[in-house]
Amino acid sequence: MNTDFGMTRDGKKALLYTIRNKKGMNAQISNFGCAVVSVMVPVKDGRTIDVVLGYQNVNGYEDNPLSAGCCIGRVANRTGNASFTLNGKEYHLEANEGRNNLHSSLVSGFHKRIWETVSEKDDSVSFRMESPDGDEGFPGSCITTVTYTLTDDNELVMRYDGVCSQATPWNVTNHSYFNLSGHDSGSAEDTVLWLDASSFTPVDAESIPTGEIVPVAGTPMDFTVPTAIGERLHDDYEQLKLTGGYDHNYCLNHKAGELSLFCRAVSPKTGLTMEAYTDLPGVQLYTGNFIREAAGKNGTVYRNYDGFCLETQYYPDNLNKEQFPSSVMEPGETHTTVTVYKFS
């Protein structure tokens, strides 16, 4: 089922799609930015709560300084010096975070466009984005299809399929902010988090990975034992001080390409648990360090640390770090990745 989600400022109609399962869970997805607008999950007392931060209509997503809920592409996260070399040729991207690039383009990236709807069912919806050669500075044309499915096991499954005309980077992610106590419940710092990641990629003062892969053991970065997000968030630790909290790529322990459990998050307020699975090598844990004050759904004002992101990905700046797993997609093959968020 789809409903009107408002008009963009250049006069295009945006739609909101609702998908449902048989357990009373539903999710709303917009064709603007391929954005997850709400995820309504049943909790113990019979209520359903919305566990993602978001906006009331399409104009909120047009502004969207948080990139909340959206599909980010062609390349999510940061690329140092807003440039990279591929097959001997140098490519230049939008320098939109100092001299570096964040999320390909903050003006016209995948999260700022209306996607084509290719399939709509009771429990799933699929969107397609055709990105031409040279778009955002990247080589080759690229078609990305994203399918959201809600299973009867209360899983929100995100499947990404990409195909390109020539070798090109392709590192697409979803940028939802979760709060398992409800999007309007304030700080998510009490969320207890476990990550199956024994190492992370530290960053420099510009939030670009240094190229090192460092063990989390003995540092505030360690979530291999379940720990509240806020317990060490404000510790006197250089990596946390550089980024105002957690905004780091974790190197997941699972075998490359294998869909595996990598995260478990629990709200002590609602008892709601979210398990996350991916076949990608990394995840960016971002704790909403720079939300400040953002006007969200139903009159809610979001502030720092009111949600956390688990952006599954290839490591940031992998295009300039040969030691990192490569996000380059070769032509003539369909590249597929899957990420799952399961609620109980």
3-state secondary structure of 97: strand
Q: Are strands 192-195 and 260-266 parallel, antiparallel or unpaired?
A: antiparallel
Nearest residue to 288 (alpha-carbon basis) of 239, 229, 200: 229
- What is the 8-class DSSP label of residue 82? G
- Residue 311 annotated among the catalytic residues of the structure: yes
Phi, psi values for residue 259, rounded to 5°: -70, 115
Q: Are strands 260-266 and 294-295 parallel, antiparallel or unpaired?
A: unpaired
Q: CB–CB of 96/332 below 8 Å?
A: no
The C-alpha angle 48, 50, 54, rounded to 5 degrees, equals 165
- Beta-bridge partners for 7: 13
- Beta-bridge partners for 329: 168
- Residue 175 annotated among the catalytic residues of the structure: yes
**Rg value, the chain, Cα:** 19
Q: Which of 94, 111, 136, 175 is catalytic?
A: 175
Nearest residue to 80 (alpha-carbon basis) of 209, 169, 172: 209
- The rounded distance, in Å, linking the Cα atoms of 165 and 141 is 5
CB atoms within 10 A of CB 12: 13
- The rounded distance, in Å, linking the Cα atoms of 255 and 233 is 29
The residues carrying an active-site annotation are 175, 311
